[in-house]
Amino acid sequence: MKRVSTELTLAAAITRFLQELAEVRLASSHTVAAYRRDLARFTDHCGDVPLSEITRQQVQDWLVDSHASGLAPATLARRLSALSSFFDAAVRSGWCRANVASGIRPPKQAKRLPRTLNPEQTQALLSHSDRASELRDLALLAVMYGCGLRVSEVVGLNLHDVDMHSMELRVLGKGRKERVVPLPDGAATLLSNYLEERIPLTIEGAGSDAQAVFLNNRGGRLTPRSVQRMLKERALETGADMSVTPHRLRHSFATHLLAGGVDLRAIQELLGHASLGTTERYTHLDIAKLTEVYDETHPRAKRKS
């Protein structure tokens, strides 16, 4: 059994833990800062007492107090996770005998439905503008929405991933899993128009990103951040929903397919979801929309006064 350092206080143990996190585990500065904030709040609750005196009841009381102050279940779950990780490290280092946060369940989080754009909003994004990168932007948006791609997948496309003859794209998704997705007619036309302008850049040379489908104005591969910025600017110019994000386009693709009667398994394949459970979120979204329409239009939906 490891010898327990009974003299080590909570604050001192946290300082050592954060140092190990940064210097040994090489965690990012953002991760270390997040742990520091959450653990500092636990210290505020308990006081800087010897680590060995912290009890399971104090952890539970901290969560109850945090919940009563109005914190979201997701925030409470994150705080509990940080505390449990800290106590795991403390036990390994011999600072205390047990992880008093182990096994405590965080509050259940409400399922968040993905936000989507209606077809009119997606069409507004695809309306023509006077942007210098218009051909590229239209092709990128049409491919991202028309194929339901993640932003990392669309910027990761290379020229050899595009098969205009078969109207297909080869996509490298999460976990480096490949999938082949069909390219809709409209997206194929816009992509073809762009590639006629894009292909000469490979002859002139575009650095290490010469094979990238979507390039920036310097000939380098477009980044996810650039796509997000382009979406916001385009929404402002075309009058589309300013809250649009690449992921909302992906959610919209799935929801519009479901509303059109496409099988859930087929949508799972198109999105590259490992689990059907992930795709099933869209059935809840569709039912929520159906309920909203029912409440607004059905003569029996509203109670008679």
Single out the residue of 39, 105, 30, 31 nearest to residue 73, CA to CA: 105
Residue 302: active-site member: no
Q: Count CB-CB contacts under 10 A for residue 136.
A: 24
Burial of 2 (0-12, 13-18, 19+ CB in 10 A): exposed
Single out the residue of 1, 5, 3 nearest to residue 16, CA to CA: 5
Containing 172, the helix (H) or strand (E) segment is strand 168-172
Q: How far apart, in whole angstroms, are the C-alpha atoms of residue 35 and residue 192? A: 48
Residue 298: active-site member: no
Residue 247: active-site member: yes
Half-sphere exposure of 58 (CA within 13 A, CB side): 17
- β-sheet with 178-182: strand ranges across: 162-163, 168-172, 178-182
Query: Which residue is catalytic, options 198, 234, 250, 251?
Result: 250
Residue 294: active-site member: no
Q: If DSSP codes are grouped into helix, strand and coil, which group holds residue 215?
A: strand
Q: If DSSP codes are grouped into helix, strand and coil, which group holds residue 180?
A: strand
Single out the residue of 210, 173, 169 nearest to residue 192, CA to CA: 169
**DSSP symbols for 77-121:** HHHHHHHHHHHHHHHHHTS-SS-TTTTPPPPPPPPPPPP---HHH
Q: How far apart, in whole angstroms, are the C-alpha atoms of residue 221 and residue 20? A: 36
Q: How far apart, in whole angstroms, are the C-alpha atoms of residue 125 and residue 148? A: 15
Query: Which residue is catalytic, options 229, 247, 265, 284?
Result: 247
Query: Which residue is catalytic, options 150, 198, 248, 251?
Result: 150
Q: How far apart, in whole angstroms, are the C-alpha atoms of residue 283 and residue 197? A: 40
Q: Which residues are catalytic?
A: 150, 174, 247, 250, 273, 282
